Structure formats: structure tokens, C-alpha cells
Amino acid sequence: MRILSLSTLFPSPERPTFGKFVANQMAGVASRGDVEVTMVNPIGIPPWPLSLRRRYSKLRHTPAETTLEGMRILHPQFTTIPKIGGDGNPGRIAEAIMPLARRLHAEQPFDIVDAQFFFPDGPAAARIAADLGVPLTIKARGSDIHYWGGRPRALEQMLGAARQADRLLAVSCALRSDMARLGMAKDKIAVHYTGLDRSRFKVMDRAAARALVSAIPELGVWTRGPLIVTPGSLIQIKGQRLVIEALPELEEATLAIAGTGEDEQALRAHAKELGVADRVQFLGHVSHDVLPQLFSAANVVALPSEREGLANVWIEAMACGAPLVIPDIGGAVEVVTNPGAGRIAVREPHAIASAIREILKNQPDQDAVAQNVARFCWETNAAEIVEIWRALAHREGALPAD
């Protein structure tokens, strides 16, 4: 079975960790040996002179083709208009990809066209699938529904793609319901939970992990006090500010913020204003090689995001034995199902502080926390999506019946 999968978030030589979770999913599919995956990762470059800016000048040098974990990755460039042109990206992506998709399909037909996000990937993939005359699947992951679903022009394109799609996927039951509320056919939507790299994200004794991450020069995590870890890009919707504001109520606890982003200086200044700068540590980018040890060292992982579908980082943290403090967003209640898994807390500093304090007073066993996510793995994730694709390909007659 041959799959053409479109993902605007996907690793490339210039952005090796960008969309890593999508790469993990598709690598799991490719490793089975019964599916040939061709990934298309469109690279948005704005018109001159914006294209000369540092972030875009680097992207312009992305190779046209790379390989990753046995997959062929194509990186065609399309024109994007930063900040104001997002609603038009699906059309520009489809226009950039169509000649390539037609040529590849003529050489050896694809059985399925797949989109890894609902916007802008979904409407672009819909045009390609219609042109090639093959079934279409589209996956929703969170912000592609919650943000873009609130923009009328984007929503119109999403609903059109949803009507065309043969199958829709959502990363949680909650997101499936949100998609239905937007007007998508609920009986067409399958819940497809994320996976987990179990060889990497697993329990390490908390004390040993704390000693390890404190000894790594580029991290140097403080050894004093209970450790709260907040991972993610330093942008407003991730809510790091709220955890900082909770810290005055959590005497002796230290906060390690793992990530980079535009809000870093504002967050540093806010910690100083609140008098907790000596208990807030900015770790910068933490690699996937070190992240499991950081999670294992944490007494609590707090991530009060404004919106999520079902965040991979939730599963990764719990697999390392770290209980969560997260809001009731997306699939939160599908993951934090008991006090041993963590707490669901309102996005408000006092509520976050109270939830963290409860966990610190009765710290759950790391192995018990990890047991809550025992069902997650990339092998299961791959098997489920391949089953969906194969059923569609058989239905369309692209594959012989088993």
C-alpha cells in the first residue's frame, strides 16, 4: 500500500525537531514493511524582502528531498504571507504540490492521500486527492480545529475537505466532539490516540534522574526543593506565566521551564517582579535525549495550555512517572483519570498552586503514574492507522481483497 502524506509540521535538516511527533508516527508506519510512505512537507517562504529574514533565509536552503527512518521526504516550497495570509495557504500549498503529486502518481499510483493536520494540510490534501482520484484521510490534532475553526474562511475550507474525506481522525474523544460541533460528520471521525517511544520515555528513579540533570552542564537543574517542570514553546497560549504566578504559594519548590520562544524575556521579568526569579530556571531547548531524564526528575509536570488536542508531552511525562497538572482541555480527562495521574486544574494561579501542593503532599509512585499510559505506543498507533487506510483502499478497489 502506497501513502502520500502531507504535513506542514515535519522535521527537515534546518528544523530537525519540528513536528517530531508526526515523524515518529509515520516512522512507526514505515517500519512495518507493508506500507510505503512518501511524506510531503511543504516549506512556506514569504515574498521578497521578507524572505531575507534570518528564519526564512535558512528555510530556503531546505533540500528538495531527504530521507528519514526509511521514508522519502519531499520539501516543496510555497509562497506564504506571514500573519495575514494563513487562510490562503491551502490553495498555495496545493498549487506547489500538484505537479509533483501527479508525476509520482503516474509513476506508481498512490492508494491514499493523507493529511496530518486539518489546516492548512487538510484542504490542500483534498484538492490533491480529488485530482488523483484516490481516497482521503485527514487528522485533527488540536489548534488546527480550535484556532482555525474560529476563522470563517478557514472553516469553510475545512468543512469542504471534511465532506470530501473518506475518514477523519481525532487525537482524543474530546476533539472528536469539537469537530462535530463545527459541523463535521461525527460518524466519519475515528479517535486515533498518539503513540509513545517506550525505549526512550520510561521511569528512571527520581533521585537518580535529578542528580543526572543537575550534572549535565547545559542544564544544571537545581537540586534544591521539589521540582516542577513546565515544557513547551515559550508563547502565551502555553501558560508558563500562570505557573510562575503560582510559585509564591509553593514555598521551597523550584520551577524549570524547558523550551524557547518569544515570551522568554517577559517571563523572566515577571518572575523577577514576583520575587521568585531565584526559583525559576530557564533551561532553553531540551533535546529528546535528555527530556526523559528531566521528566523523571520532576515531582510535577505543569502545563496550563490554553488549548491542546491530546498533547504528546502529557503522555511522555507520565511514562517517566511524572504526575500532571493540566487544565480541562482537549483529551485531558482521558489521560488524568485518577489522582495518581495528576490533577485537572483551572487556568488560574491559585488553582494550579493548590493542585501542585496536593501532589507534593502525597507524591504518587512513579511506576503507578506510568501505568496510566501503558496503552500508548507507536506500534499500536501505526497498526490502527494502517487498518483505517487499508479498509479504504480495499473499499475503493485499489488493493485486492485479503
Q: pLDDT tens digits, residue range 72-83?
A: 999 999 999 887
- 93, 8 Cβ separation under 8 angstroms: yes
Above 90 in pLDDT, residue 55?
Answer: no
Number of Cβ within a 10 Å radius of residue 346: 14
The alpha carbon of residue 148 and the mean position of all alpha carbons in its chain are separated, in whole angstroms, by 16
State in Å, rounded, how far the first CA of the chain is from the last one: 13
Q: How confident is the model at residue 399 (pLDDT cuts 50, 70, 90)?
A: low
Q: What is the pLDDT of residue 396?
A: 67
Above 90 in pLDDT, residue 47?
Answer: no
Q: What is the mean pLDDT of residues 394-399?
A: 67
Above 50 in pLDDT, residue 183?
Answer: yes
- 193, 332 Cβ separation under 8 angstroms: no
Q: How confident is the model at residue 288 (pLDDT cuts 50, 70, 90)?
A: confident
- 300, 356 Cβ separation under 8 angstroms: yes
Q: What is the pLDDT of residue 401?
A: 47
Whole-number average pLDDT of the chain: 94
Closest by CA position to 369, among listed 341, 333, 343? 341
Q: What is the pLDDT of residue 397?
A: 61
Q: What is the mean pLDDT of residues 11-36?
A: 92
Q: What is the pTM assigned to this prediction?
A: 0.89
- What is the rounded CA–CA span in Å between residue 190 and residue 330? 15
Q: How confident is the model at residue 395 (pLDDT cuts 50, 70, 90)?
A: confident
Reduced to 3 states (helix: H, G, I; strand: E, B; else coil), residue 63 is: coil
Q: What is the pLDDT of residue 331?
A: 93
- What is the rounded CA–CA span in Å between residue 389 and residue 136? 9
Q: How confident is the model at residue 398 (pLDDT cuts 50, 70, 90)?
A: low
Q: What is the mean pLDDT of residues 282-301?
A: 95
Above 80 in pLDDT, residue 93?
Answer: yes
Q: What is the pLDDT of residue 84?
A: 81
What would the pLDDT profile of 299-358 be if each residue is shown by its tens digit?
Answer: 999 999 999 989 999 999 999 999 999 999 999 999 999 999 999 999 999 999 999 999
What whole-number percentage of the chain has pLDDT above 90?
A: 87
Q: How confident is the model at residue 400 (pLDDT cuts 50, 70, 90)?
A: low
